[in-house]
Chains A and B, each alone.
Chain A
Amino acid sequence: DAGVIQSPRHEVTEMGQEVTLRCKPISGHDYLFWYRQTMMRGLELLIYFNNNVPIDDSGMPEDRFSAKMPNASFSTLKIQPSEPRDSAVYFCASSPGTMETQYFGPGTRLLVL
């Protein structure tokens, strides 16, 4: 298996622009997680899905952030409008179960100017 795939790997945008991050989980994994990592706050869980349904989005920082999972093999995290403080590395992870190992993608490094 190719593992969790994320795109793009790097994104540079200007404040106010819409940003869409994409994730393809490992086939057969029922859980998908979106995380944000910064030096100051470490790794923060933003939202997770079970069987394509959002279960807990309490970590989503603001209404500017939204996530969707239209099918078992694809998820997006959208920021609209983007702000400089959104600059971070965004990771997607998938897992076969809640008590199972999470497999992380390589991350998307986002820089908002």
Chain B
Amino acid sequence: EDQVTQSPEALRLQEGESSSLNCSYTVSGLRGLFWYRQDPGKGPEFLFTLYSAGEEKEKERLKATLTKKESFLHITAPKPEDSATYLCAVQETTSGTYKYIFGTGTRLKVLA
């Protein structure tokens, strides 16, 4: 069964304390892996798309990496405003249609 698993479920960091979030997946025919940020009461907001193993993308304090089985979202020197739920999603193709499968997210809290 196609699956996307994120860990940890929740993470508390002190401001400036770097860490990584994990997204592991088991899908056939991966076309892309997406990272989103979701603030309370809002819709997910796009961060990155990764297409192939070895690819990396950066945006401010965030860096996303991809291997054949998992992706990491590295947060360097986080600030309180980085507190949010981070969602990972994979897109796969099956019989000509596209499937989007989201993980349940990592709730990040950065303390000042």
- For the A-B complex with A102-B34, A107-B42 known, give 6 more contacts whose Cβ atoms are closer than 8 Å: A43-B102, A44-B102, A45-B101, A48-B100, A99-B49, A107-B41
Contacting residues of chain B (60-102) with chain A, CB-CB under 8 angstroms: 87, 89, 91, 97-102
Q: Is the CB of A101 within 8 A of B49?
A: yes
Q: Is the CB of A70 closer than 8 A to any CB of chain B? A: no
Question: Chain A's nearest CB lies how many Å from the CB of B72?
Answer: 19
Secondary structure of the B contact surface, majority rule: strand
- Chain B residues with Cβ below 8 Å from A45 are 99-102
* Chain B residues within an 8 Å CB radius of A101: 34, 46, 49
Task: Tell me which of A4, A42, A55, A56 contacts B102 (CB under 8 A).
Answer: A42
66-113 of chain A: CB within 8 A of chain B = 91, 93, 98-99, 101-107
Q: Chain A interface mostly helix, strand, loop or mixed?
A: strand
Q: What is the CA–CA distance of A43 and B104 in the complex, to the nearest angstrom?
A: 7
Q: B34: which A residues are within 8 A, CB to CB?
A: 101-102
- B residues sitting closer than 8 Å to A (CB atoms) are 31-32, 34, 36, 41-46, 49, 51, 87, 89, 91, 97-105
Contacts A42-B103, A42-B104, A42-B105 given: A106-B43 contact, CB under 8 Å?
Answer: yes
- Chain B residue nearest to A103 in the complex (CB): B46
Q: A43-B87, A98-B91, A99-B91 are in contact. Are A105 and B100 (CB under 8 A)?
A: no
With contacts A42-B102, A42-B105, A55-B97 taken as known, whether A99 is within 8 angstroms of B32 at the C-beta atoms is yes
